[in-house]
Amino acid sequence: MISTTKTAKKQTVVTIDPRVMKKLYEHADEKQKMLSQNFPSTTLLGDANFLGHFLLWVTFWRRNLHRFATDYLGLSLKLYQVIMLYLMGVNNTFVCIASRASAKSFVIAIYACCKAILYPQSSIVLCSGTKNQAKLLVSEKIEKELCSWSPVLKREIKKIITNNNNVEVIFYNGSKINVVVASDAARGYRATDIVREECRQIPKWIDDSVLSPFKFIRPTPYLSTPFYSKVAELQEDATDIYISSSYFDNGGEDTWMWEIVDMAFDDMLNGKPSCLLAFDETVALYFGIKKREDLLKEKKKQDRLTWLLEFKNCRLKDNQSAYFSYKLLSQNQVNKHPFYPRTLIDFRMGKKNPYDIPKQKNEVRIISCDIAFVTNKNNDNSIFTCMRGLPEATTIHRENQESITIDNGYRRVVSYIDSMQGGDVTKQALRIRQLYEDFGADFIVLDTRNGGITILSLLSKVMYDEERGKEYSPLACMNNDEYKAMTYVEGAKECIYAVNATQKLNSDIAQNFKGTLQAQRIDLPVTFEKAKEDILPNIKEYLEAEDGEMQAFYESPYLETQALISETTSLLYERKEQTGVIVVHEQGKNRKDRYTSVSYGDMFFTQLEKDLMNNIQEYEVGVFVN
């Protein structure tokens, strides 16, 4: 009990029941019991009752970060976020592999603010794979969302800096939150807490040599006093937090994340201060973060593999019978400059294509086509791929001699993939012709098996495009005299390269495409998630689109690339014992239309390279002896 007494001078004297005081300081040491005497009696810290409650609340909140977020900061949390925050606060290593749309970044931001307030002089470093992704943690999550919801949090923060060179949150108690891009340039930071967002995107050598050395023990003043300096339990360990969506687990440095996952799981089972959490898209659905309709819409956008990784949160491995691995394709996803064909409205208004890509010197462009002829067949689409061939060369400078340039062939760049339902050959021929004109293509690589010869016949005639109100001049086959004789019109440009694949040719195409991927000589569009972060927000028409069809138009290069990778990595193969021929085939209802279209284009550029090499003069070859 607490009683108050008024003196003659109208001063109030607070008297605390000894039983209450004993309860307040039940677990305190001798220093803590006498701590209030170090402060003036007129201050709050000089009040033993207040100070006792203060010590208890701080201890309670440090052990229950979720209660600090709700009780002190006044934030509203969902149950799974409560669980995450609690476990992040009581473990030195915390790993969470969770699906998209599970608000991982939001929980990271709350955690960082709670730790910064409760532990003065803390230095919390938030690391992300990209600059924009890293900056959003402060500019969007802390500054815009959390500070607007919690006036108390806003009062704790002294200053927020968000410029191109520095992203930092500075607190009045000396704590700070720094946001860095996980790269070699991030060296020099010190951290009591390291949070790695989307850790799967961070190279292992960066984590080992740059991020992990950040860690240091929080400089608590009481550890420098003789009374506490020898109490080992009071030393605070730096905290490691790994947050990510799922990814393929095929071994090697690219999947080092799974080593951390397994280590955290084993340590957790053995009673160490470590924790592993994982949850899929049902969390977003159950707690009302996403509607069922939204998730179904996302599922329609995604290919099977991306859906399993990003939303079902599966830990996938490549099929041992697959000819192409996920890593093989994903390592080539570097193209951030897609091409978009002209829209019908722009064409009719006579507007230039704002997404046209000027041709480089000696650049070659092709439209590579895989044709489908049956409408509504589940595993048959027509695919038209716009590919650029950028000439690469190496110049060798020789002392006192003339320099020589050796051609290295073409770097393939997949700029756009167009997909349409098979069936109507006239519509397909017109679409090929539209892309040929819009892209400024030099050649058309055409699958002429089965009914493909019909498309060739249509392209070899004068065609009228009713949509665009334009007439197209005839084209001709360039590599098959029989096809050329059947369809040739005098004056027609010979630019159609006919592919009539045999089992042997298909084997050569598969092996050639694998070699191109291994040599990283093909640039595929970046991932859809990366495009949403770095590219699509810069397209005004995309941001202002009022209908899903226009948004889908701008998303298509990335979604089609996802489908290409899913198709290609799902292909199985067998090697014929007698001939050594590689036979690549689908499994079940899977498709390989996009694989066929892109691999045919790749083979065409290989053929061009061979033709170039035949025309290059032979250079003197020298033997170097060490």
Structure confidence at residue 298 (pLDDT): 79
Using the CB atoms, write b or e for 344-360: b if 16+ within 10 Å: eeebeeeeebebebeee
β-strand 443-447 against 493-499: which pairing, if any?
parallel
Using the CB atoms, write b or e for 559-575: b if 16+ within 10 Å: bbbbbbbbbbbbbeeee
d(CA 575, CA 513): 16
d(CA 626, CA 482): 56
Structure confidence at residue 1 (pLDDT): 38
Handedness of CA 523, 528, 534, 537 (dihedral sign): positive
| Residue segments in the chain with a per-residue pLDDT below the cut of 50 | 1-7, 9-14, 616-626
CATH of 333-395+404-525+591-611 among 3.30.1330.10, 3.30.70.20, 3.40.50.1970, 3.30.420.240: 3.30.420.240
Closest CA to 91 of 74, 73, 115, 109: 115
Handedness of CA 308, 277, 128, 214 (dihedral sign): negative
Instruction: Say what angle helices 548-569 and 593-615 make with each other, to 10 degrees.
Output: 70
Tokens 């470093």 label which residue?
125
Distance between alpha carbon 428 and the CA centroid of its chain, in Å?
34
As beta bridge partners, residue 405 has 395
Considering all CA atoms of the chain, what is the largest pairwise distance in Å, rounded to the nearest integer?
A: 121
Structure confidence at residue 414 (pLDDT): 97
Structure confidence at residue 587 (pLDDT): 72
SS3 state at 93: strand
Q: Is the Cβ–Cβ distance between 148 and 94 less than 8 Å?
A: no
- In a 13 Å sphere around the CA of 561, the CA atoms on its Cβ side amount to 30
d(CA 604, CA 591): 22
Tokens 């890593």 label which residue?
327
- The tokens of 169 are what? 């949150």
d(CA 207, CA 211): 5
d(CA 306, CA 329): 13
Q: Is the Cβ–Cβ distance between 332 and 524 less than 8 Å?
A: yes
Closest CA to 133 of 144, 141, 121: 141
Structure confidence at residue 559 (pLDDT): 92
Q: Is the Cβ–Cβ distance between 510 and 584 less than 8 Å?
A: yes
DSSP 352-416: --TT--PPPTT-EEEEEEE---STT-TT-EEEEEEEEEEEEEEEE--TTS--EEEEEEEEEEEEE
d(CA 105, CA 289): 13
Give the amino acid at 296: L
CATH architecture, range 75-223+234-286 = 3-Layer(aba) Sandwich (3.40)
Q: Is the Cβ–Cβ distance between 368 and 604 less than 8 Å?
A: yes
* Model pLDDT for residues 159-178, shown as the tens digit of each residue: 999 887 888 999 999 999 99
- The tokens of 529 are what? 């998630």
As beta bridge partners, residue 368 has 385, 445
Indicate the domain borders of the chain.
2-59, 75-223+234-286, 333-395+404-525+591-611
* Angle (CA) 567 252 334, round 5°: 50
**What residue ranges in 228-345 does DSSP mark as E strands?**
239-244, 274-279, 333-335
As beta bridge partners, residue 177 has 124, 169
d(CA 565, CA 575): 22
d(CA 383, CA 388): 16
- The tokens of 544 are what? 């202002």
Q: Is the Cβ–Cβ distance between 206 and 231 less than 8 Å?
A: no
The whole-model pTM stands at: 0.73
